Amino acid sequence: MNGENKIMNYILYSEAEHNVLPLCSLCHNGCVFCSHKNIGRSDYLYGFYDYKRETDEIIEHIDFLDPSKKVFIGESATKIFEGEPFLFKGLMEVLKAVRKRVKKSAISITTSGGFITDEFFDAAASLGPVEMNFSLNSFDEKIRDKIVLDKKTQRVFANFERLCAMGDYLKLSVSLMAINEKTTPVESLLEDIRKLRLYSKVSVIKVFLPRFAENQFLNFFTDYGAFRDYCEKVKSSFANINGGGGAPVILEPLEPDCGGEIIVHSVMAGSKAAEVFIKPGDRIKEVNGAAPVSKTHAYKLITSSKKRVLVTVEDSAGGPPKNIVFSEYNAERDGACGIVFTADMPAQTIEKLKHAGEVIAENGKRGIIVTTPLSLGYIRGVLERFEIPALEAAAFKNCRFGGNIDCVGLLTLNDIKLNIGLDAFESLRKDKTAALVLSSLMFDHLGYDLNGENLSEFISKTEYSVITV
């Protein structure tokens, strides 16, 4: 496949499989924490960061989208880099054409906020329902000026206010960056959240904890101890942040909790769940009569309901579980009825993992499941809870990006080879029949990792039996 065909393959996949409509890779490149700008021309990923599309061609591709589902703009579903949608000149034409074909579902737009045009504000009501994911980064003018060098802070804040004044046809979620103690002290994050919660339009506030590749990490932290101290300080200061109402605050990335209970993280103000007084800390025991195996599974069970959802909830204060019915349910409009869960393992992955454990045990083998330091405790908990003794969890370091990049989907096959070579895995190396369980998140739909190495080729050469889940 040549470069152009390769990009088109990923574009078609994004459109047909994820309802994501890629527009362009243009961005202001001003965020000091941005990882994309450090990808050099010789890097395999560079080709995914440099593509152009014509407006007419994008409009033709709207036919590949599923009109019954939400359409995403400005979000990446594959390796293709999505830039700032409002820098794409044909955006309004595209949005109008999407709305013509997609009659009822929301159009979700992710933006850094500084380039939103008057034309968009004028047309927003006719484009609704629209969901804006606004990367505000900071709601403090001085701090934002330091972390996003686009000279657009005042315009960004003014655009935020304009969006907040819009009608019900527009929903708004906001994200903030936690960088380090000097740049974004915990007090400033808490103050941003206090100010943002004054706007009833803001449905969710995401706060991203720092993650930097090797070549950036030391610009922000003297060492890993300083990084961990900062994260701990943010986490402990945020411990009760959702207890008193207001827009839910979600801190990411966090290790999923290992307990196995389906605990409500937070509840969106004004939602169906808020109306029946579901609150953070409550436990979801059943959805439509089925017991969820994870929070992600609970979310899936709710959002795949038709017209009516029956949720069995145990109050965090105690007492017998209550059955709550959400009638006139519409998945597109209501999502999880305003219940916010933190992400963990989908039910399908748990099933695959259990099956892998059974096969390995039946063959009298043993194996390791590769994870990262962040999720080691969680994966150990999953193996214990679902009784998968043939597998042991192993935390592999990300050598591809280095720094504190700590996500299993960003590991590569080369990382697997390098980590297995370490002393800690000597016994695994000696046991040539051992199984290696890898996350399918490491590979794209064609089986390539972030270095362009193919899984099938790796399997054909390695002496381990490889299973993906």
Which stretch, 24-32, 54-62, 258-266, 288-296, contacts ligand SF4 (CB under 6 A)?
24-32
The Cα 329–Cα 310 span in angstroms is 10
Scan residues 366-395 and list those touching ligand SF4 (CB under 6 A). Answer: none
Q: 229-238: long-range contacts (C-beta < 8 A, 24 or more apart)?
A: 229/181, 230/178, 230/180, 230/181, 233/181, 233/186, 234/178, 234/186, 234/189, 234/207, 234/209, 237/186, 237/189, 237/190, 238/207
Closer residue to ligand SF4 (CB): 14 or 112: 112
Scan residues 303-362 and list those touching ligand SF4 (CB under 6 A). Answer: none
Find the shortest distance in angstroms from Cβ 107 to ligand SF4: 19
Find the shortest distance in angstroms from Cβ 37 to ligand SF4: 7
> Do β-strands 435-438 and 465-468 pair in parallel, antiparallel, or remain unpaired?
parallel
27 makes contact with ligand SF4 (CB under 6 A) = yes
The Cα 317–Cα 330 span in angstroms is 30
Scan residues 108-167 and list those touching ligand SF4 (CB under 6 A). Answer: 112
Q: Residues 33-52: x/- map of binding to ligand SF4 (CB under 6 A)?
A: -x-x----------------
Find the shortest distance in angstroms from Cβ 28 to ligand SF4: 6
Distance (Å) of CA 9 to CA 23, 57, 288: 15, 14, 39
Closest CA to 283 of 310, 303, 306, 260: 260
Find the shortest distance in angstroms from Cβ 29 to ligand SF4: 5
Closer residue to ligand SF4 (CB): 28 or 155: 28
> Do β-strands 391-395 and 266-267 pair in parallel, antiparallel, or remain unpaired?
unpaired
Which stretch, 23-31, 157-165, 192-200, 307-315, contacts ligand SF4 (CB under 6 A)?
23-31
Find the shortest distance in angstroms from Cβ 352 to ligand SF4: 33
The Cα 358–Cα 348 span in angstroms is 15
Label residue 300 exposed, middle or buried (CB < 10 Å: 0-12, 13-18, 19+): middle
Tracing tokens 């590949």 back to the chain, one arrives at 64
Closer residue to ligand SF4 (CB): 208 or 329: 208
The Cα 135–Cα 361 span in angstroms is 47
Distance of CA 136 to the CA centre of its chain: 17
Which stretch, 21-29, 89-97, 381-389, 441-449, contacts ligand SF4 (CB under 6 A)?
21-29
> Can you spell out the DSSP letters for 262-306?
-B--EE-TTSHHHHTT--TT-EEEEETTB--SSHHHHHHHHHT--
Which stretch, 29-37, 159-167, 338-346, 402-410, contacts ligand SF4 (CB under 6 A)?
29-37
Q: Which helix (H) or strand (E) holds 237?
A: helix 224-237
Q: Is the sign of the CA dihedral 145, 150, 152, 157 positive or negative?
A: negative
Scan residues 75-114 and list those touching ligand SF4 (CB under 6 A). Answer: 112
Find the shortest distance in angstroms from Cβ 36 to ligand SF4: 5
Closer residue to ligand SF4 (CB): 112 or 138: 112
Query: Encoding tokens for residue 382?
Result: 């999953």
Contacting residue, 30, 281, 346, 402, with ligand SF4 by CB under 6 A: 30
Closest CA to 138 of 184, 76, 77: 184
Q: Are 174 and 196 in contact (CB under 8 A)?
A: yes
Closer residue to ligand SF4 (CB): 15 or 84: 84
184 makes contact with ligand SF4 (CB under 6 A) = no
Closer residue to ligand SF4 (CB): 27 or 98: 27
Contacting residue, 11, 23, 31, 336, with ligand SF4 by CB under 6 A: 31
Query: Encoding tokens for residue 465?
Result: 């039996």
Find the shortest distance in angstroms from Cβ 149 to ligand SF4: 9
Closer residue to ligand SF4 (CB): 21 or 262: 21
Which stretch, 27-35, 98-106, 114-122, 218-226, contacts ligand SF4 (CB under 6 A)?
27-35
Which stretch, 26-34, 189-197, 289-297, 361-369, contacts ligand SF4 (CB under 6 A)?
26-34
Find the shortest distance in angstroms from Cβ 56 to ligand SF4: 26
Find the shortest distance in angstroms from Cβ 390 to ligand SF4: 41
Closer residue to ligand SF4 (CB): 36 or 380: 36
Which stretch, 28-36, 255-263, 336-344, 438-446, contacts ligand SF4 (CB under 6 A)?
28-36
> Do β-strands 71-73 and 367-371 pair in parallel, antiparallel, or remain unpaired?
unpaired
Q: Mark 216-247 as b/e (b = at least 16 C-beta within 10 Å).
A: bbeebbeeeeebeebbeebeeebeebbeeebb
Find the shortest distance in angstroms from Cβ 148 to ligand SF4: 7
29 makes contact with ligand SF4 (CB under 6 A) = yes
Q: What is the DSSP letter of 453?
A: -
The Cα 397–Cα 411 span in angstroms is 8
Binding site for ligand SF4 (CB under 6 A): 27-31, 34, 36, 112
